[in-house]
Structure 1
């Protein structure tokens, strides 16, 4: 049996990807430029940065600027965050009526304190009836747009919510469920518990795709996750930071083809150049002509992880103000270097586990449907 016969295409509503891969929404990362760069590498679903329902409803200028998709981007996948069923319903109706996106994913997995202290993200599924009401409001107002949910195992090891939440979401009519196999308390530390993904796959009707997220840093990781858990596809987040060619590796692996050779520094430099150009195209304005290249600065360290670049060059790369300056600094390096094995594996934020910051009395009654005061965030981006 070949890989291509073992792995099925991923279907979300009417949309199908032969490669069962989703780019996870990441604040400050998955803008239109980065998504296009990744799409050029391989097939999949590519989701934009998180948009808040309040920001969309109140026509927040930042939110509106973030709703940017390339003309050839299909499907246009948007992630929405909200804590109020009314606001979520209104936001999804705006998406449907104004044709802003083709697919809505809902954020119930973010573990950062500024989100959980308002009862949002990974904190929300604990309030099971409020969670259900929010998902129902989204589905009921989406029309023909498929709605999916992304969640974590729970708040902490003593409060697992994912199985109940998934069943409620499926009952409300979602098209797929994704699980980051960590608790909110773990944040991005430790090891993802893939066995939870397997339990979720067993608990959800077979026709509803279950996607696994957590510790997918290579094509081998992706195949292993699907093989061990039976999930229908993988969600890739930190693994593609500074490595957008990972999506080409994933496409080849799921199709049963040999993986491409790891890139040389020359090929990495070409990808960095392309990335910088796309960020400039997407983010540059007359008022702020260097915004795109400044955004590129944080990506440079990820691209060059493991390469012997030297502290002074790294410092100067962290201050670049043009694509030409980026090219000049990188061209002075030994571009024939092979990709360093030590650059494989985890990247991006990891941190340490910690107490989850929650609204006062949040844990008192899981059936309480009260929306916390001031819970809805106006600004988007996570």
Structure 2
């Protein structure tokens, strides 16, 4: 059978191709967009970044009508507004203290305290398979009648924080002491102590959140800078509900010792100088460039900050596969300053993350300077004291986000066309961060055909930027054209020529865009002179790309090895989101998000030519075994079935709708 191949189609060998039509290629722009693809954006916005046209004069009735339409459009805004992931809860809720083996002292507690009654109505335990259970033929996970249930969190920590609520409860209970009584929770104290330094860190206390919500968290460094800026601009200092002022009567929270210990041990190459005591005692004195921590990132790879999919379990998986620099999902400065618990959960760090940063987005110098100082005071520089004591190694300013919701506020890639404001933001954030380095992530420009990033390169040293990453597309291009690595090289040359202080390490510069193989990675590094490459979609589709890069080889990974990585992701998700019913289904949701990218991987053993290209469309094909065929399915119902191998059956009413339009299924279909 002879099959022709169209332009842009992956060169899958003829013996694996199927003579049927494949679904359209995924639209990564649709996954990022904030306006529905079938409806105009709300009034005053422009997808292409152009300023809105001058409004014609209208009557009062027309204005009211336009206001109603704008309000309705705002409610419906977002390409992914239809995605709903309701929390699935148990019918009978048990008191959290009782569930964890403690005593509830509240007489008005509305939850049940009867453990046997609760266990009688609790959903069945879930069997979490070991690696040895995975096979390449249906049912792909062997579960025998003699299989025992084990709790992945208990095996990792020596205890399970969810107690009786855990859906793997049989793995950490002992028989009841008396007939009709409750089984006893088991705890392995020796293992718990051994694993104590391997738990997540960067948890924020309720007291800190309360101070932020009541605008009582002191930010003296940022306040001094804002005052200087207001005098310079001959304008009143910025202060609003979005930019909460610090109270002079409050004492700053301790920042902790200035440790130079890193997650995997000391890294003296990242340090250049100690903080001078006079600068610590005088918060209104700017830190000199020689006193800022300088980054030594030459030859390192970098996992991009990825909204939704770049969560801690995914970063942990990539770190086990060789990712060397990781960064949190994008957090909004205003949400951090108002004490949003959800936003602060994004800054958590796993000890395996060797070099870890927090990405922040905002549009005002006052907001971002204060947010930077809050991060410095609450988290501090690097793992303070080692182990799981947390900390951050850098803060990244988002100057590249293309989505309308961010761009219209003047944040993200909009900062590329506001150079003076960007400079004020960077200098203010540097003031608040103290010794913590500040990095920035940019695109080549805003409008297609008008690259402007090279103009910024000349100013980064003066602004004391610690490192810069350039995504090789403009904001307007999104993913419609290949990344411009020739222009990235121009930016590298401009940056290198602009740094005049030979006594300081050079500013690391990273490129990004379309890298999907070890060969592409190292070829771009050699041809452009970048210190390394940030990986986004390539890491989402094949997280093992970091292993390929570090070992300089193309890995023809087997289907069984891929399913083992999926099992690991589920294990890391349960450790992060919890092993109760809510945590299991939160893990299921984000596992399906990950599979909505990973199914796009075409095994290199099926290709006629190497390396594979990230934008090649996959024809309909079969794998070398049934598991490989299943992992290539574009049907979201199959992704849910894969999740059930590790997380048990889906509860009634649970559905998954992917971001990408071409993969969308109706709610009735999503469960299968």
Query: TM-score with structure 1 length normalisation?
Result: 0.76
Tell me the equivalent position of 1:263: 557
Structure 1 residues 190 and 129, CA gap change in structure 2 (3 angstroms): same
Deviations, residues 82-110 of structure 1 (Å, cap 9, x unaligned): 11111111111111111252211110011
Tell me the equivalent position of 1:173: 464
Contact residue 320 and residue 352 of structure 2 kept, 8 A: no
1:228 and 2:538 matched: no
Structure 1 residues 223 and 163, CA gap change in structure 2 (3 angstroms): same
Deviations, residues 319-374 of structure 1 (Å, cap 9, x unaligned): 666452579xxxxxxxxxxxxxxxxxxxx9799xxxxxxxxxxxxxxxxxxxxxxx
1:299 CA drift (Å) = 1.7
Equivalent runs, 1:253-332 vs 2, <5 Å: 253=552, 259=553, 261-284=555-578, 286=580, 288-289=582-583, 290-305=585-600, 306=602, 307-309=628-630, 315-318=637-640, 322=644, 324=646
Deviations, residues 113-154 of structure 1 (Å, cap 9, x unaligned): 111111111111201111111111111211111111110111
Contact residue 149 and residue 169 of structure 1 kept, 8 A: no
Contact residue 21 and residue 233 of structure 1 kept, 8 A: yes
Deviations, residues 204-230 of structure 1 (Å, cap 9, x unaligned): 136111111111111111111112211
After superposing on structure 2, the runs of 4+ consecutive aligned residues of structure 1 that deviate more than 4 Å are 10-19, 310-314, 319-323, 348-351
Among candidates 301, 305, 316, match of residue 21 of structure 1? 301
Equivalent runs, 1:105-116 vs 2, <5 Å: 105-116=396-407
Structure 1 residues 326 and 219, CA gap change in structure 2 (3 angstroms): farther
Contact residue 25 and residue 48 of structure 1 kept, 8 A: yes
Contact residue 19 and residue 251 of structure 1 kept, 8 A: no
1:30 CA drift (Å) = 1.4
Tell me the equivalent position of 2:361: 81
1: distance between equivalents of 2:511 and 2:296?
Answer: 17
Among candidates 312, 317, 334, match of residue 32 of structure 1? 312
1: distance between equivalents of 2:634 and 2:410?
Answer: 44
RMSD of aligned residue pairs (Cα, Å): 2.8
Tell me the equivalent position of 2:516: 217
The alignment partner of 1:138 has SS state of helix
Tell me the equivalent position of 2:159: none
Contact residue 272 and residue 303 of structure 1 kept, 8 A: no
The alignment partner of 1:308 has SS state of helix
Contact residue 23 and residue 237 of structure 1 kept, 8 A: yes
Contact residue 212 and residue 233 of structure 1 kept, 8 A: yes
Structure 1 residues not aligned, in runs of 5+? 1-9, 254-258, 328-347, 352-382
The alignment partner of 2:511 has SS state of strand
The alignment partner of 1:49 has SS state of coil
The alignment partner of 2:368 has SS state of helix
2: distance between equivalents of 1:140 and 1:127?
Answer: 20
Tell me the equivalent position of 2:203: none
**Comparing both chains, which one has the higher relative contact order based on Cα–Cα distances under 8 Å and sequence gaps of 6 or more?**
1
Among candidates 51, 60, 66, match of residue 346 of structure 2? 66
Greater strand share, structure number: 1
2: distance between equivalents of 1:235 and 1:124?
Answer: 20
Structure 1 residues 267 and 317, CA gap change in structure 2 (3 angstroms): same
Contact residue 281 and residue 292 of structure 1 kept, 8 A: no
Structure 2 residues not aligned, in runs of 5+? 1-268, 272-292, 380-390, 500-505, 603-627, 650-658, 663-672
2: distance between equivalents of 1:82 and 1:165?
Answer: 18
